[in-house]
Amino acid sequence: MILPPIPTPFDREGRLDTAAFRELAEALEPLVDGLLIYGSNGEGVHLTPEERAQGLRALSPKKPFLVGLMEETLPQAERALLEAKEAGAMALLATPPRYYHGSLGEGLLTYYQALADRMPVFLYHVPQNTKVDLPLPAVEALAAHPQVLGIKDSSGDLTRLAFYQAHLKDFRVFTGHAPTFLGALALGAEGGILAAANLAPRAYRALLEAFRGGRLEEAQALQRRLFPLGDLLAKGGVPLLKQALRHLGLPAGYPRPPYPQESPLWGSLLPVLEGLKEEGWLL
């Protein structure tokens, strides 16, 4: 499966643009297998509770979708969980509590188990953003819960994916790290939840299909071709992704202030986009 973490559009003043949000989702959904709403590239941490609800009400995905949850405590998570459930989300994608992670202890397991008691959950390991490592023993313990379905691992650490493959039966693994997408597939990942899939969904679906069909040379060639796109987006984050989508004529809006509206990496990404567009890989 290929799922893009869809950006949440804000206007230049930082106001949520629900009409653009709906238009962007409707443009992307036919080209992918599902959506992630309010993930890292969806700026879920930048939304008020009221805005989260407003944005979800504006969307009506037909394909499976996940909703990101990046809260610190169970009371904070309660409202967002209920709204995701009512909206028909397949599952939550939840980061670990992080601000006081040094003293969290068994609370990490308690947090995820309490969420999973309410609705299906995917764990979300994204240490480049949270600055928190999701311990492998904790992942293994949580995988025993029937509603902890799997994990999105954006670390790019293939040794972690090898651990999942070796130790966790029937645990669904998605990578969020486009530069190592093919390596993740080789280590048992089901697919990718990739920022770059907002821009080149056809290419990532073709790579996945080539791998599943045993056409490894074709898959390797596509991975090499897509590497600069994934690598630059990993470095440039939300501002670069939104700038690229705006360049392609899609209503991605702007990052919420104080984050910059344009990326210093745009000059490097533009020729990459132009090359992929000429080859028919972009939206």
Which of 62, 63, 131, 152 is the catalytic position? 152
Q: What is the chain's alpha carbon radius of gyration, rounded to the nearest angstrom?
A: 18
Tokens of 12: 């230049």
Please write down the long-range contacts of 111-114, taking CB distance under 8 Å and 24 or more positions apart: 111/74, 112/142, 112/145, 112/148, 113/142, 113/145, 114/74
63 is catalytic: no
CA count, 13 A, side-chain hemisphere, 224: 5
Q: How far apart are CA 247 and CA 252, in angstroms?
A: 10
Q: Is 118 helix (H, G, I), strand (E, B) or coil?
A: helix
Identity of residue 143:
A
Strand partners, 124: 152
Which residue from 8, 93, 96, 94 is spatially nearest to 46, judged by alpha carbons?
8
Other CB atoms within a 10 A radius of the CB of residue 31 amount to 16
In degrees and rounded to multiples of 5, residue 10 shows phi and psi of -120, 150
Other CB atoms within a 10 A radius of the CB of residue 281 amount to 20
Q: Catalytic amino acids?
A: 152
